[in-house]
Amino acid sequence: MSEEKCQPEVLILPDGSAAATLSTPLPKDHWLYANEGYSPPPMPFRCGTDNPRHHDLADMICAAARYAIRGATMNGKAEDIDPDAMVQNFVVGMLGYHTPDGLCDDAWANPDPVPEPFAETFKKTDFAAAAERQNEALRKSLEKSIQQRDELRTAAAAFLADMEELAGMPDLLHIAAFNAELGIPFIGGEGSESQLVVQLRAAIKAAA
């Protein structure tokens, strides 16, 4: 910054007193100069992209950051930026004014519409996220049940086809031996069906 720009603007008042606007350099131990190189973010409100609140919160923080930068730079007109003023503006942009409810007594100084307290917004969003997780779990459980039902239908139909093919053979000893292994009585005779075949027919009909 040139010496001309560093000259304070002095205002002489009618009573003989004076006022001046001037800029002083930051102290050498200012936080702006700490941690040279890469500084990991503090992440006090860590919220990864897996969280459904992430994008909404990021938009809110960006809006507060833009407000802070505009206020600290007089809408981009001031070249001499006070980092502490920017931080203070960011806190106001995030949480509201330093009042019990975060609002200003002057309605024009408040956002329109006035947002709900963050605790209420957070609570509603948290409930919505929990409901979404529950719905996702139910959806996966339903998909698994449908898959198991379809697999059972396919296996039962294939087994029934094999049994009917065996039942049509002249020699019914194959079916009798098979049913004997399962402990299921066999109803013999031409045109008759084993008890297992009848049960499978009823099961497939009920599942359809």
Does residue 150 sit in the same domain as residue 199?
yes
Q: Which range is most confident: 21-25, 28-32, 154-158, 196-200? A: 28-32
Does residue 102 sit in the same domain as residue 53?
yes
Instruction: Classify residue 90: in a domain, yes or no.
Output: yes
Sign of the Cα torsion 150, 153, 155, 161 reads: negative
E-only strand ranges, the chain: 9-12, 18-21
Instruction: Classify residue 69: in a domain, yes or no.
Output: yes
Does residue 104 sit in the same domain as residue 67?
yes
Sign of the Cα torsion 116, 119, 125, 127 reads: negative
Average pLDDT, the chain: 76
Does residue 151 sit in the same domain as residue 101?
no
> Number of folded domains in the chain?
2
pTM (two decimals): 0.49
pLDDT at 19 over 70: yes
| Mean pLDDT value of segment 132-143 | 81
Instruction: Classify residue 26: in a domain, yes or no.
Output: no
- In the block, tokens 């009848």 appear at 198
Does residue 98 sit in the same domain as residue 152?
no
Domain end marker among 95, 115, 135: 115
**pLDDT computed for residue 1 by the predictor:** 41
**pLDDT computed for residue 66 by the predictor:** 95
Domain that holds residue 58: 49-115
Instruction: Classify residue 67: in a domain, yes or no.
Output: yes
Does residue 60 sit in the same domain as residue 107?
yes
Domain end marker among 98, 115, 132: 115
Instruction: Classify residue 110: in a domain, yes or no.
Output: yes
Does residue 66 sit in the same domain as residue 111?
yes
Instruction: Classify residue 32: in a domain, yes or no.
Output: no
Instruction: Classify residue 170: in a domain, yes or no.
Output: yes
Instruction: Classify residue 79: in a domain, yes or no.
Output: yes
With a CB cutoff of 8 Å and minimum separation 6, the contacts of 22 are 8, 9
